[in-house]
Copies of this chain bind each other. A is one copy, B any other.
Amino acid sequence: MTQTPSVAAYPVEPRNRARRKHERASYDHASVHAVLDAGMMAHVSYVIDGQPYATPTIHWREGTRLYWHGSSASRMLRAQAGGLPVCVTVAMLDGLVMARTGMNHSANYRSAMCFGTAALVEGDAEKRHALLAMIDRFFPGRNETLRGFSEQDVKATKVVGMEIETAVAKVRTGLNGDEPEDLANPTWAGVIPVTQVIGERVPCPHNGAGAVPSGLAAWAPGRPFDEAMAELARLYEPEPA
């Protein structure tokens, strides 16, 4: 007897339903999480006194929860410590799509928009876990080589967490799309890929001769950044068997 596989997905609601280009949109966890995990920078959108802000910050994911840390936290949550509606978007440009009309020019990209209610991570133990996770998720094993977060560190830092209530991933890949009547135009058409690439490490002048590169194995120079990010996400949270 075969079973219909059930695919975990975010609910489709007015706030996340794709209005255009439906064929590019997905709501299943795997599609959304793949985009989130491929990018380090998120843009957190929130409102204070009717004024919207889009603040870039480093983010990480645990299951269906997102976390971030950064300068925005205090302004963001000063007004509403109890919880603030936010949209957290991770997006990357993958290529310039050159067509035979201006109208058909496009971009290849991946994006994930996540909606939920942001709240400060409170409690010393929870906060300490989150701060360690922020290192572990990107640099596995590195925490063991560091002196750890002091009480003062934990006090001075704000971490924000959010359960993803709903989300949508949008992806455009592939070549240009042109109308048949435009194909005779001799202008070059196609795709110019754009990739985030890991560069050659710049060492701190205080490094000793035998400095140990802890947690850096995935960050090989020349490697695509999103590949390293995805590999580290799998290490941080192995897929269920």
Contact = CB atoms under 8 A, between A and B. Distances in A.
A50 to B, nearest CB: 7
A132 interface: yes
Contact of A113 (B40, B55, B87, B148): B55
A11 interface: no
A118 to B, nearest CB: 10
A32 to B, nearest CB: 15
B186 A211 contact: yes
12 contacts: A15-B53, A20-B71, A41-B109, A45-B54, A54-B88, A55-B113, A58-B107, A101-B146, A102-B132, A103-B157, A186-B208, A197-B197
A41 B51 CA distance: 21
A135 interface: yes
Contacts of A233: none
Q: How large is the interface on A (under 10, 10 to 19, 20 to 34, 35 or more residues)?
A: 35 or more
A89 to B, nearest CB: 4
Interface in A198-218: 198-208, 210-214, 216
Q: Nearest 6 A-B pairs (CB), nearest first?
A: A193-B199, A45-B54, A56-B91, A189-B204, A43-B43, A45-B45
A113 B53 contact: yes
A30 interface: no
